[in-house]
Amino acid sequence: MPPPPTAALSSSSSLCLFPFSSYSSPKKTQLGFCPSFPFTRLINVTPTRRLMTCSAVSIEKETLISHRPHSFLRETDGLDDGSVRSRFLRMIMEVQDSVCGALEAVDGAGKFKEDAWTRPGGGGGISRVLQDGDVFEKAGVNISVVYGVMPPEAYRAAKANVTDQKPGPVPFFAAGISSVLHPKNPFAPTLHFNYRYFETDAPKDAPGAPRQWWFGGGTDLTPSYIFEEDVKHFHSIQKKACDKFDPSFYPRFKKWCDDYFYIKHRDERRGLGGIFFDDLNDNDQEMLLSFATECANSVVPAYVPIVEKRKNTPFTESHKAWQQLRRGRYIEFNLVYDRGTTFGLKTGGRIESILVSLPLTARWEYDHKPKEGGEEWKLLDACMNPKEWI
C-alpha cells in the first residue's frame, strides 16, 4: 500500500458535524481540517507524492441553525445555477433524504435526529443520527459543504508543473456526503459510504489560472458473518454502477478499496470491500458527476435488501460476541489508520463529530482465535485474503 500523505486529509470511514476549514490570518497561514470529513486528500496528488507540512492547524466552529436551508452555496456562486457545485450539492441532499427514509422504514421505530449548521467562512451541513433503534444500533448520514483557502505550498504540490509557482493562497470548495450504518443483529452487516467533490478557484493574484477539480468516494461492506449471496449482491450492484460508465472502473476501484481498508497491525482488511476511488479527474467532468450520482443512488438497493433479509435472524450470545470483536477491528482502523479521525483528535475537533461513526459497543479479547473452518474463521480468512466475489 502507498504511504499516506503527511499533510493529507482522509477519511473514508468517519463522519463529522462540521467540515474542515482553512483560511488566512494576518500573522500566519492556518489550515484546518475536518476531524473526519469524507475527503481522502486535500489536494490532487499521485499516491506516492507527499505534501508539505502546514505551519498550523485550526478548526473553525460551526453555528447551529434551527432549520434546513435550501442551499449551502454562497449567493455569489448561484444557489441553483446548473454548475457542478450546485448539482452535486443537490444530489447529496437528495441522497441523504432517500437513505434516511429507507433506513427509518427498515428500522420501524428509530428516527433520525437532525442538526443543521453553517460556517462563518461559508458553507455548512446537515448531520443526521439514528441511535438505538429496533434494527440499527447507530446510523449516521451527514452532508457538508466547505469554502476555504488552500495554502500556496499545497497548491504548488498539486500542480504537475513544478515551475508554476502561484504566490497567493488558493480558494477551494468541497462538498460531500458520508455515512456509517451499524445494525444490531450480528448477521446484518455494517455499511460505510461517502462521495465528495473538490474544486479550486483561481488565486486573486492569478485570475487566469485554470480551475482544478476532482471526485472521490466509495461504498464498502463490513459483515461479521459471510452470506455469499449477500456479498455477491452487494458487489454486483457496485459493478453494475461502474460498468455503466467504464468496465475498468469496478476491478480498479475494488482493488483500491481492498488496499485502503487494511489494518496493517492485524494483516487483515476491515471488511469485504466494495469500491473506493479518489482524485478522479481523468475523465469528462459531466461523466464523473453522473458516475458519483449513480454510485450514491446505488447505496439503498445494494444494502437495504440485505438488512431486510438478516435483521430478524435468530442469534446467540456467541454470535453477538464475535460481532463485538469485529466492531473492535472497525474501531482500530478508524482510530489508528483513518487520517481524518486521528487528525481531528490531535487538533481539538468536536469529539461527538469525530467519533459518531463508531458503534455503541465493541469487544476485545486477549489472543482470540476463531476455530479453523468455522463461520468466524471464514470471515477472518476473507478479510486476510480478499476474494473476487463476482
Candidate list 192, 233, 235, 319, residue with the active-site label:
192
pLDDT at 168: 66
pTM of this prediction exceeds 0.85: no
Q: Which residues contact 252 (CB under 8 A, 6 or more apart)?
A: 277
CA distance 105 to 110: 9
Answer for the pair 174, 68: CB distance below 8 angstroms, yes or no: no
pLDDT at 355: 83
Q: What is the CA radius of gyration of the chain?
A: 20
pLDDT at 172: 85
CA distance 384 to 67: 46
pLDDT at 249: 98
Domain ranges of the chain: 63-384
User: Which three cell numbers mark 44?
Assistant: 490532487
Query: Which CATH topology does 63-384 take?
Result: oxygen-dependent coproporphyrinogen oxidase (3.40.1500)
pLDDT at 166: 52
Q: Which residues contact 261 (CB under 8 A, 6 or more apart)?
A: 12, 13, 220, 269, 270, 271, 273, 276, 333
In order of 74, 125, 254, 305, the CA distances from 77 in angstroms are 5, 17, 35, 39
Residue 145, amino acid? V
Answer for the pair 34, 41: CB distance below 8 angstroms, yes or no: no
Could you tell me which of 207, 36, 24 has the C-alpha nearest to residue 121? 24
What is the per-residue burial (b if ≥16 Cβ within 10 Å, else e) of 286-310? eebbebbbebbbbbbebbbebbeeb
Could you tell me which of 263, 283, 281 has the C-alpha nearest to residue 271? 263
Answer for the pair 158, 212: CB distance below 8 angstroms, yes or no: yes
pLDDT at 343: 62
What is the full per-residue pLDDT of the chain (390 aa) written as tens digits?
Answer: 433 332 233 333 333 333 333 222 333 333 333 323 333 333 333 333 333 333 334 446 678 888 888 888 887 776 667 889 999 999 999 999 999 999 999 999 999 999 898 887 788 889 999 999 999 999 999 998 988 876 665 555 544 444 455 556 778 888 999 999 999 999 999 999 999 999 887 666 655 555 789 999 999 999 999 999 999 999 999 999 999 999 999 999 999 999 999 999 999 999 999 999 998 999 999 999 999 999 999 999 999 999 999 999 999 999 999 999 999 999 999 899 886 677 667 756 567 767 888 999 999 999 999 999 999 999 999 999 999 999
What H or E segment, with its residue span, contains residue 294?
A: helix 285-297
CA distance 154 to 44: 10
Could you tell me which of 168, 239, 233, 172 has the C-alpha nearest to residue 201? 172
Backbone φ and ψ for 17, nearest 5 degrees, come out as -75, -35
Q: Which DSSP state fits 53?
A: P
CA distance 174 to 86: 11
What H or E segment, with its residue span, contains residue 193?
A: strand 190-200
- For residue 233, indicate whether it is catalytic: no
Write the Ramachandran bin of 57: left for phi over 0, alpha for psi from -120 to 50, otherwise beta.
beta
